[in-house]
Amino acid sequence: MTTRLLEVEGLKTEFRRDGGSVMAVSGISFHINKGEVLGLVGESGCGKSVTSLSIMRLLKDTPGRIAGGAVRFEGTDLTQIQEKEMRRFRGNELAMIFQEPMTSLNPVLRIGRQLEEPIMLHLGYSRKRAREHAIHTLKLVGIPRAEDVADEYPHQLSGGMRQRVMIAMAMSCSPKLLIADEPTTALDVTIQAQILDLMKRLKEEQDMGMLLITHDLGVVAEMCDRVVVMYAGRVVEEAPVQELFANPQHPYTKGLIQSVPKLRQKVRRLESIQGNVPDLSAMPPGCKFMPRCAYAMERCLQEPELLPVQGEADRKSRCWLTQMDTPEGGDRQ
């Protein structure tokens, strides 16, 4: 029987700005099961990272705030609990790997000290035992000379080593859910493969759920069980990973997949999606992808809902084309 670990329902996150506010995440919903990897994909600015920060309740020192919806972790709505209680979840039950380790690691604290603090906080270990556990975790993520690395500062490590340290910090308390926000950005291809293999191994060993945020569809194909596609703060498609690549339903998803270069295909130029992501403060009426869509029609002036694709209960799409017999025809029955 599938165990549902995380449920995001109608999540809305807005950011204050001069003269008002803008909605960065507009009522998105998805879930993650135990032991499942869910990919969250889309162009920069579509709301992926804001979604992860909202789940972790890390918007406190930003102009952002959760304006509606629920984030249920094993039945507990994280949006309704006090910050003190949230700290018990964060780093223990839920952990996050951030996009850039140099902005996440404290530059003036040694690596070992940064790992020991959450271990002592969440597991109640003594300083000595926390040190032993920290070194064990560094070895677990494939860091050589773990005892020496524990006494070094972040700037003394390579980019790949710093990312492994971030994974070690996230895994140190054996979380049930790991959120990885672009975990291989700015790493060379060889190190990317090593980091992804490491994350896959740790996920299987500990049977944890994972939310993998990325713009790299190759990473999605390699790592994920299901995929949620975001555009302009909305979910526009959701599907099992193989079905998404074999038969994408939303025009935006089709554009993303077509823009990936193919080794055996001789083309003069790469495919691209025309136009730009809309400004959050000046969103177009109706379907937000309509100004860039080759299939746009008059009906798109009314925004469609995210609904199951006919005959496929595990797939959803926010497009009139998947809810009609033909672009000119009537509604599907």
- 252: which strand partners? none
The pLDDT of residue 332 is above 80: no
Write down the residue that tokens 């209960």 correspond to.
313
Q: Is residue 160 part of a domain?
A: yes
Q: Is residue 128 part of a domain?
A: yes
Mean pLDDT of the region 39-51: 93
Q: Is residue 136 part of a domain?
A: yes
% of the chain residues with pLDDT over 90: 64
pLDDT of residue 188: 80
Q: Is residue 82 part of a domain?
A: no
- Collapsing DSSP states into helix, strand and coil, what is residue 303? coil
The pLDDT of residue 169 is above 70: yes
**Is the pTM higher than 0.95?**
no
pLDDT band at 333 (very low <50, low <70, confident <90, very high): very low
Q: Is residue 59 part of a domain?
A: no
pLDDT of residue 325: 55
Q: Is residue 233 part of a domain?
A: no
- Across all residues in the chain, what is the average pLDDT? 89
Q: Is residue 118 part of a domain?
A: yes
What phi and psi values does residue 119 have, to the nearest 5 degrees?
-65, -45
pLDDT of residue 45: 87
Question: Do 280 and 233 contact (CB within 8 A), yes or no?
Answer: yes
Q: Measure the N-to-C terminal CA separation of the chain; round to a whole number of Å.
A: 32
The total number of structural domains in the chain stands at: 1
* Residue-wise pLDDT tens digits, 261-306: 776 666 566 678 888 888 888 899 999 999 999 999 999 999 999 9
The pLDDT of residue 15 is above 90: yes
pLDDT of residue 326: 42
% of the chain residues with pLDDT over 70: 94
pLDDT of residue 253: 96
Mean pLDDT of the region 170-182: 91
Q: Is residue 70 part of a domain?
A: no
The sheet carrying 20-33 orders its strands as: 20-33, 4-17, 64-73, 76-77
Provide the residue range defining the domain that includes 163: 104-174
Report DSSP letters for 192-258, one per residue: HHHHHHHHHHHHHHHT-EEEEE-S-HHHHHHH-SEEEEEETTEEEEEEEHHHHHHS--SHHHHHHHH
The pLDDT of residue 331 is above 60: no
The pLDDT of residue 327 is above 60: no
The pLDDT of residue 231 is above 70: yes
Q: Which residue has the higher pLDDT, 216 or 110?
A: 110
pLDDT band at 62 (very low <50, low <70, confident <90, very high): confident
pLDDT of residue 160: 85
The pLDDT of residue 4 is above 50: yes
* Residue-wise pLDDT tens digits, 94-104: 999 987 777 78
